[in-house]
Amino acid sequence: MWVSSMSTIMRSSSSSSSSSVLSLSPPRKYIQVFAQMQQQSMRKQTWASSISCSSSFGRGNNESVAAANKGKSKVAVVRGVPDSFANALAMEKPASPVNLERAREQHAAYVQILRGLVQEVIEIPADNQYPDCPFIEDTAIVIGNQALITRPGAVSRQGEEVEVHHALAKMGLKICEVQPPGLIDGGDVLYASGLLFAGKSRRTNDDGILALTNAFPEIGVHPIKVAKGLHLKSALTCIAPRTLAVEDNEDAQAMFEELQKMTAQHFKSFQVSVAGAANTLWVGDTLLISSTLAGDLEPHFKQFAGEVVPVDISEFHKADGGLTCLSLIFEL
């Protein structure tokens, strides 16, 4: 559950001295270990049982994906707020009920900010059958021209992905779909420094992570255990190259340490003591932060981005939502 207390402060440090000073490129040992992990992962995969795809994927490496994206337009896909939004799922009952009108105003302001940061915003209409449908991030993972349509971990949310599938297919993306018994929410998937990390949580299982691995074989996936909280990105997001905002609690620190071990201390951490404030949205040289959770910490975030924009999404916090939850952002 999001906590709005602002009485704590942020400290900028790495969890260990070895992760606070990084070389400009990963050490040779890391490259060798990562290659071995990819080979071992690929040997264990069963493609047909985890995903179905509308077309086959070319295989390459992280550099080929990055090269393919150069010179392309950044796109954001969002979804409207339904009349039923007050019934959206929450780990804990909010202190005050969701204000639908205010939620729609906040969503409109969020979308307007995105319009100034990307070349195109595509809006999918709300569906009253799915109270959580504004949290579109959970329905797809998109990297380059490849998309994995998820199978959300909450039964009440299964079906939200259908309209998202249609919208992405119309854009010409190569589509794969998670098949039962796979479950995965996009909020559990972090793409940073050309690497994919997948939180194994109450909403994402091993079969869902396998589907993610199969959908993006040229990248490889690192599973991370999410002991508490809703999603991996509820407490850990990318705020700059090789730099992650990490919530300053035992569980989030454990996730970051696990991530560091997998990548030979590839990342720096920026510790955030306010619960929920580590969920930020990094678009180009702009970093969006929650005005209600991280507004007082804006000066600390400015060292990482050309512009820091506080955004009020307090009504969405009541349904465990964060800034990343409300959009799919990728390049075409």
Residue tagged active-site, from 107, 222, 231, 317:
231
Nearest to 191 by CA among 160, 157, 146: 146
Give the containing element (helix H, strand E) for 110.
Answer: helix 100-115
Radius of gyration of the chain (CA): 19
Q: Examine the residue annotation and report whether 165 is marked as an active-site residue of this protein.
A: no
First vs last C-alpha separation in the chain: 34
DSSP-based three-state secondary structure for 183: coil
* Helices and strands in the chain: count of H runs, count of E runs: 10, 16
Q: Over 233-299, what HEC string results?
A: HHCEEEEECCEEEEECCHHHHHHHHHHHHHCCCCCEEEEECCCCCCCCEEECCEEEEEHHHHHHHHH
* Residues contacting residue 44 through CB under 8 Å, at least 6 positions apart: none
Residue tagged active-site, from 133, 176, 238, 325:
325
Residue 319: Cβ within 10 Å count? 22
Tokens 């990248």: give the residue.
219
Which residues sit opposite 195 in a β-bridge? 192
Q: Examine the residue annotation and report whether 300 is marked as an active-site residue of this protein.
A: no
Q: Evaluate whether 225 touches 200 at the Cβ level (below 8 Å).
A: yes
The residues annotated with a catalytic role in the active site are 231, 325
